[in-house]
Amino acid sequence: ESRLPGFATHQIGVAGAVVDESNGKVLVVQDRNKTMNAWKFPGGLSDLAENIGTTAVREVFEETGVRSEFRSLLSIRQQHDHPGAFGMSDMYIICRLSPLTYDINFCTQECLRCEWLQLTDLAKTEHTTPITARVAQLLLHGLESGFHNIDLSMEVIPAVYSGKFYQLYHRQLPSTLKS
Amino acid sequence: ESRLPGFATHQIGVAGAVVDESNGKVLVVQDRNKTMNAWKFPGGLSDLAENIGTTAVREVFEETGVRSEFRSLLSIRQQHDHPGAFGMSDMYIICRLSPLTYDINFCTQECLRCEWLQLTDLAKTEHTTPITARVAQLLLHGLESGFHNIDLSMEVIPAVYSGKFYQLYHRQLPSTLKS
């Protein structure tokens, strides 16, 4: 990668798809301030220097009251001229999370509704966004055939020059190939 | 995702792994301005409003003279306190590209060397970075078992509210499941 001075061009939004594997349900919300009441995964913007998984877990808790843990990265959307991004671009990342608690206590300032919805229903309802429906299909495929088929797993790796650490996401390699 | 006003926190760097499937070689460079001469994939920072794949193809051409086309997204690294990023964070994305031309005509201002290297050699050499070695392993796995095992494929999808389009990346769904 280039070491030429650059400048920040993207805001990072992260959503968390909290999947209850015991019953095939996923945690979804409807925003209070939208023209269309569409089910989507809870999420929001990353704070400065916040890791992707940390944003997902934090935003899910703030919006829904449900505690969860990071499992994988599922999907990335890049969008330019994003409304509300002041000419900057937007990277929207959806993570897979596992629930640690199940009781909903949602933020009424941000959300109109919050429910554990069947993934099969979310995949086919019209009351959602195309990206949410697509990720619901991905998650169904993962539930049926194994989440390794849809996940980008995360690893913490030491940086070469700085002595710091970074988070690397990619498809899991078969264990026989990993060095 | 949240529609609250945010601000850009990340610069986006993109590298292109141009794989010649006919001989198992990949295009790599050594930077001129590094303390360590490590093989890595050509790449650089995204311009404002530039798509990930466009950055990869442009940077590969500028650094190496090789023309290529975007195939998939392979890996994402998130790093905070990145040197040269002025306190902002860095998202470094590695794409898989296919070569359209093969003759190297590299930029001597940026690069010390540029070669088509065997992926098997890149995966085990010490003269590379951990992330490059890891992606070389991923690419070898893809060459042997099919690139669908390592790729996040890209689709252009219309945005719900703005009437614009965005790029969505995720693992390919079996064709029977796609709506």
**Average pLDDT for A146-161:** 89
Which A positions 50-69 lie with beta carbon below 8 A of chain B? 51-52, 59
Local confidence band at A3 (pLDDT 50, 70, 90 cut-offs): very low
Query: Who wins on pLDDT, A80 or A41?
Result: A41
Residue spans of chain B under pLDDT 50: 1-4
Q: Which tokens is A139 given?
A: 């998650």
* CA–CA dist B32, B36 (Å, integer): 9
pLDDT confidence of residue B35: 61
Indicate the pLDDT class of residue A1, thresholds 50, 70 and 90.
very low
Task: Kindly state the helix (H) or strand (E) to which residue B114 belongs, with its residue range.
Answer: strand B111-118
Query: Residues of A with CB below 8 A from B135's CB?
Result: 170
Residue count (chain B): 179
ipTM: 0.89
Would you state the pLDDT for residue B177?
64
Phi-psi region of A9 (alpha: psi -120 to 50; beta: other; left: phi over 0): alpha
| Token pair of B46 as six digits | 């995204």
Q: Would you state the pLDDT for residue B81?
A: 79
Q: What is the pLDDT of residue B174?
A: 83
Q: What rounded mean pLDDT belongs to chain A?
A: 90
Per-residue confidence band for A35, with pLDDT thresholds at 50, 70 and 90: low
Which residue type, as a one-letter code, is found at position A177?
L
| SS3 state at A150 | coil
Q: What is the pLDDT of residue B70?
A: 98
**Which chain B residues touch A34 with a CB distance below 8 Å?**
3
Question: Cβ contact (<8 Å) for A179 and B123?
Answer: yes
Q: Which of residues 111-140 of A touch B (CB under 8 A)?
A: 123-124, 129-131, 133-135, 137-138, 140
Chain B contact set for A9 (CB, 8 A): 8, 10-12, 46-49
The reply to whether B152 touches chain A by the CB within 8 Å rule is yes
Structure tokens at A60: 């899910």
For range A82-105, the mean pLDDT: 90
Contacts of B140 in chain A (CB under 8 A): 177
**Inter-chain touch A76–B75, beta carbons under 8 Å:** no
Q: Find the catalytic residue in B62, B63, B126, B155.
A: B62
3-state SS assignment for residue A93:
strand
Angstrom distance (rounded) from CA B32 to CA B112: 5
Residue A178: its pLDDT value, please? 58
What count of other Cβ atoms lies within 10 Å of the Cβ of residue A34?
14
pLDDT of B2: 44
